[in-house]
């Protein structure tokens, strides 16, 4: 038992093997990560200081942007620096830490998207009671519940993973640490662990997706009673959220709710939801929302008074 873990360091195969291709990826993905940090940070700051963005919808949007910053920073900086490294290594403890935070923040994002769908449901279907139902205290509780749900989910995944023995090999066929690639390195049968992990992730995803679909089905039915202008405004506020939900659940479903076959395609899909999607979310919300755009313009104007 004392020697059950001979492996203390793991090696990533990375996204591509060709050094020249890796350099091109570095040039492409570094600006994407910086844009992710800038775009989401602007939303967090704009919502915090703007007098016009104090509704629950923008509070949840700010919370989502904060999660995106943290989630992206859990994976992308290591991935980008590894693109310039000949040997891409990470300690076993570092690998488990990356798994913990990526699952923690990933599920927190799923639950926040559910909370945002509930917010739109209340705003459209119960407008007269909206401020009473979505009080400041309730909003803070919903966001705290999202973080707590992500924490509990991730703790379960880590408790399952830590006891596994790793005695070699130590090469992970991925560019970051995730459960299925790590399970393949364990010196024991991990079928039951895989089932538990799949059930844990799958149950959260299926229930969340069911709530999201149900919320928007009820909203669409309710909109039949509204005027054409009312429908247009309501659908406009929902469109950004629906787009973000599809961008998140599409790749995540492909990775986690199917039997793993080829890690090559898994890695390419993973790039989308770990690197690209966190950058797209602030763009999607600001392009379709005049209030957010105006608040960010004012914020940018204060930072650059010489341009006025």
CB 177 within 8 A of CB 88: no
pTM for the complete prediction? 0.89
- The helices-and-strands tally (H runs, E runs) of the chain is 11, 3
pLDDT tens by residue, the chain, 308 residues:
344 667 889 999 998 889 999 999 999 999 999 999 999 998 999 899 888 888 999 999 999 999 999 999 999 999 999 999 999 999 999 999 999 999 999 999 999 999 999 999 999 889 899 999 999 999 999 999 999 999 999 999 999 999 999 987 899 989 999 998 899 899 999 989 988 888 888 888 889 989 998 998 998 888 887 778 777 777 777 888 888 888 887 777 666 655 555 556 678 888 988 999 999 988 888 777 778 878 777 777 665 554 44
CA gap 198, 207 in Å, rounded? 14
CA gap 214, 221 in Å, rounded? 11
> What secondary structure letter does DSSP report for 150?
H
How buried is 1 (Cβ within 10 angstroms: 0-12 exposed, 13-18 middle, 19+ buried)? Answer: exposed
Classify the C-alpha dihedral 43-49-54-59 as positive or negative. Answer: positive
């Amino acid at each position: 038992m004392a020697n059950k873990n001979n492996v203390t360091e793991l090696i990533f195969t990375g996204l591509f093997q060709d050094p020249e291709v890796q350099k091109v990826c570095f040039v492409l993905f570094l600006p994407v990560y910086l844009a992710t940090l800038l775009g989401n940070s602007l939303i967090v700051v704009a919502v915090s200081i703007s007098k016009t963005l104090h509704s629950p919808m923008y509070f949840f949007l700010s919370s989502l942007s904060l999660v995106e910053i943290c989630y992206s920073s859990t994976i992308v900086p290591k991935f980008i620096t590894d693109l310039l490294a000949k040997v891409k290594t990470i300690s076993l403890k570092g690998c488990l830490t990356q798994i913990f935070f990526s699952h923690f923040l990933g599920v927190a994002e799923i639950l926040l998207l559910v909370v945002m769908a509930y917010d739109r449901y209340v705003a459209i279907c119960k407008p007269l009671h909206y401020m009473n139902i979505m009080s400041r205290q309730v909003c803070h509780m919903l966001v705290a519940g999202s973080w707590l749900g992500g924490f509990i989910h991730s703790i379960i995944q880590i408790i399952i993973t830590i006891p596994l023995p790793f005695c070699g090999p130590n090469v992970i066929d991925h560019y970051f640490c995730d459960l299925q690639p790590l399970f393949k390195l364990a010196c024991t049968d991990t079928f039951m662990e895989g089932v538990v992990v799949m059930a844990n992730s799958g149950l959260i995803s299926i229930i969340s997706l069911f709530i999201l679909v149900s919320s928007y089905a009820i909203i669409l039915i309710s909109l039949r009673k509204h005027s054409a202008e009312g429908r247009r405004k309501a659908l406009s506020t929902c469109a950004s959220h629906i787009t973000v939900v599809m961008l998140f659940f599409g790749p995540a479903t492909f990775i986690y709710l199917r039997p793993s076959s080829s890690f090559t395609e898994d890695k390419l899909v993973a790039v989308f939801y770990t690197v690209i999607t966190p950058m797209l979310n602030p763009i999607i919300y600001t392009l379709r929302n005049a209030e957010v755009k105006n608040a960010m313009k004012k914020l940018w104007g204060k930072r650059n008074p010489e341009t006025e």
